[in-house]
Amino acid sequence: MTHDSEIAMHQVERALFDLRRGVPVLVIDESAGEAALVFPIESISHERLDALVEQAGSTPALTLTAHRLAAMGLDGQESAASLSLQPGQSMSIEAIYETAAGATTVPPDGFAAPGPASRSERAGLALLRRALLVPAAVTVTVAPERQTTIEAAVARGELLAVPARLAERCFELGRGMLKRISEADVPLREAEQARFVLFREPDGLREHLAVLIGEREDWPESVPVRLHSSCLTGDLFASLRCDCGEQLTRAVSTIREMGGGVLLYLAQEGRGIGLANKLRAYAIQDQGHDTVEADQRLGFGDDERRYGVAVDMLRALDIARIHLLTNNPAKLVALANGGIEVNDNGRLFGRVTQQNRRYLSAKARRSGHLLQELLGES
């Protein structure tokens, strides 16, 4: 890693942790000479809102993703938009949060019509997504007369500044820098000969596990591989809302039966939105929305997962040719685009229950998962 790359990573890492702690971050668009304070909606309070306005000296806005705006019926936004709080209007924190991530689909009267988000605001949303927070922010553009005060706060270390050009690349900065941390033999019920190898992303936020099943010299030429996104509720607690736990168990036994191979257990809870947001999405699903609609109402896309880390793990394990066990065509495409040779593809199903049928149907219908055989649909 170059010195400049280390500095960039350090700035983004600090920004992620400040946002998770409920601390504002200054995102600077150097090309436009503009900057905005970005604050996560899930930590907002009246005291914090007043402090942000006092510090930046301009009208606060609610910056939302195009997915959230579309769920509210405000289509036509390409990426993100900001809804400014109209002068002279006051609004409860509850109303602001509901507008950002709640069940409401109609913005309160206190907001102006949505306008295009600035580059700083869009980059701020990228940081929130990377930090596994709700991708909605209270943003306040720094007024010209407050620039000196803001610069002084940054110089004293009271406020972190991060360039928009780095923030908007926060998902890419760590590619190729995955670290192999530790490993040990861990006999499993479905495969007594198994070795766990732990990898950590450079920002320290996520750890991923490679489970090596069987003796490597006995593996088929096209190594059986399964990419399994972590699911605390399904894998550990046997939740009936999904089929993840059964898929995990069957993946291990299937790989063993095929002569051995690798299961990549990826820290991608809730299709990449994190456990807190996954539980929020469950609550929205209980109001009658499917799994994709629920994620969109929170401001996320259909599937927030990125599989570059899986490519990096396979390369670190010196695996270039695989037999992929998946029902998700997106995984095939991502691995192939990453230079992994996918010679074959096998399906891997869990069990359909009364509680998970709607979830599985939505994945097949909305996200292209190949589940028609399992669901008995044509």
What residues are labeled active site? 303, 305
Largest CA distance in the chain: 72
Q: Which residues are annotated as a binding site for Zn(2+)?
A: 231, 242, 244
CA–CA gap between residue 340 and residue 342 (Å, rounded): 6
Nearest to 322 by CA among 210, 230, 197, 189: 210
Nearest to 171 by CA among 305, 74, 69, 55: 305
Half-sphere exposure of 88 (CA within 13 A, CB side): 0
φ/ψ of 198, rounded to 5, equals: -100, 135
For residues 291 and 280, is the Cβ–Cβ distance under 8 A? no
CA distances from 93 to 46, 96, 98, 129, 281 (A): 7, 5, 9, 21, 21
Q: Which residues are annotated as a binding site?
A: 226-231, 242, 244, 247, 269-271, 291, 326, 331
Return the amino acid letter for 366.
R
Question: Between β-strands 321-325 and 341-346, what pairing exists: parallel, antiparallel or unpaired?
Answer: parallel
Question: DSSP letter at 171?
Answer: T
Q: Which residues are annotated as a binding site for GTP?
A: 226-230, 247, 269-271, 291, 326, 331
φ/ψ of 339, rounded to 5, equals: 95, 10
* Cα dihedral value 277, 296, 24, 152, nearest 10: 150
Return the number of other C-beta atoms located less than 10 Å from residue 143's C-beta. 13
